[in-house]
């Protein structure tokens, strides 16, 4: 059963979900996010969700420029109001106690408030209603300027000496290409949040193009491989 078959409407998802606050990380519908879980609080969270709905929210913390915490230790730390729910679709337990999981994005959500719980991780009451269209696979793909997106992407890759499987990119659907690039792109928290909150695929593609063009104009970055 695919995610699109499993989750057809907001009511198919739990109204309260554990969240993983992670700076500079977003998730989007049907894109994937690999995670290396080693902190005891998040190991406990994964164990709990695997016996339940297997749904976790990825949510960026609100941080200042001089704060280098990847995931805030304090449960009182401010979090963004919009995140994305994902299902654990791959799970591997390592000999050293770590867990390697893959989350596949389902639908974005708005936080309504935090649920009081004894768990060491945070649990949010959420609403998916604003982003219900995320549950329709490929919605709005035909409105994307794919030719311009690929043109800018190719220029960006060449300028930064990045290597990727161009044939695979050419075959990818607009939705997969845009959402996967948004998840893996090497931009900061604010830019990532802008990609997450873009209202539709066309808007997200336009943000990607704008970010790449800004990067090109300032000579970009180098040394990474997109896969």
Looking at residue 166, what is its pLDDT? 87
**Which residues 6+ apart lie within 8 Å of 51 measured at CB?**
none
Looking at residue 224, what is its pLDDT? 40
pTM for the model stands at 0.91
Assigned token pair, 181: 């690039």
Instruction: Provide the residue-wise pLDDT of the chain in tens; the chain has 227 residues.
Output: 888 889 999 999 999 999 999 999 999 999 999 999 999 999 999 999 999 999 999 999 998 665 667 787 788 889 999 999 999 999 999 999 999 999 999 999 999 999 877 899 999 999 999 999 999 999 999 999 999 999 999 998 888 888 888 899 999 999 999 999 999 998 999 999 999 999 999 999 999 999 999 989 986 444 343 44
Looking at residue 223, what is its pLDDT? 39
Looking at residue 123, what is its pLDDT? 96
Domain ranges of the chain: 3-135, 141-217
- What's the 3-state SS for the chain? CCHHHHCCCHHHCCCEEEEEECCCCCCCECCEEEEEECCHHHHHHHHHHHCCCCEEEEECECCCCCCCCCCCCCCCCCECCEEEEEEEEEEEECCCCCEEEEEEEEEEEEEEEECCCCCCCEEEEEECHHHHHHHCCCCCHHHCCHHHHHHHHHHHHHHCCCECCHHHHHHCCHHHHHHHHHHHCCCCHHHHHHHHHCCCHHHHHHHHHHHHHHHHHCCCCCCCECC
Domain covering 3-135 assigned CATH 2.60.120.260 in the classification: no
Provide the β-strand partners of residue 108: 84
Q: Are 105 and 33 in contact (CB under 8 A)?
A: yes
Looking at residue 71, what is its pLDDT? 83
Q: Are 174 and 113 in contact (CB under 8 A)?
A: no
Of 101, 54, 59, the residue nearest 83 (C-alpha): 59
Q: Give the span between the Cα atoms of 220 and 84, in whole angstroms.
A: 28
Looking at residue 66, what is its pLDDT? 58
Assigned token pair, 214: 């800004």
**Which residues 6+ apart lie within 8 Å of 177 measured at CB?**
149, 169
């Amino acid at each position: 059963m695919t995610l699109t078959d499993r989750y057809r409407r907001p009511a198919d998802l739990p109204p309260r979900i554990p969240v993983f606050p992670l700076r500079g990380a977003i998730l989007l519908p049907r894109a994937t996010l690999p995670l290396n879980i080693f902190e005891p609080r998040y190991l406990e969270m994964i164990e709990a969700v695997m016996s339940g709905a297997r749904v976790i929210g990825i949510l960026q913390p609100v941080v200042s420029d001089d704060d280098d915490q990847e995931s805030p230790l304090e449960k009182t730390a401010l979090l963004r109001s919009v995140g994305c729910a994902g299902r654990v679709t791959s799970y591997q337990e390592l000999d050293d106690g770590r867990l390697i999981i893959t989350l596949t994005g389902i639908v974005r959500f708005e936080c309504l408030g935090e649920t009081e719980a004894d768990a060491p991780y945070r649990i949010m009451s959420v609403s998916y209603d604003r982003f219900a269209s995320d549950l329709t696979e490929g919605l709005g793909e035909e409105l994307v300027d794919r030719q311009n997106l690929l043109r800018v992407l190719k220029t960006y890759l060449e300028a930064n000496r990045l290597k990727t499987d161009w044939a695979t990119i050419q075959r990818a659907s607009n939705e997969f290409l845009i959402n996967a690039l948004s998840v893996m792109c090497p931009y900061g928290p604010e830019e990532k949040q802008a990609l997450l909150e873009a209202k539709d695929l066309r808007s997200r593609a336009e943000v990607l193009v704008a970010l790449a063009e800004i990067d090109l104009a300032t000579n970009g970055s180098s040394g990474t491989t997109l896969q």
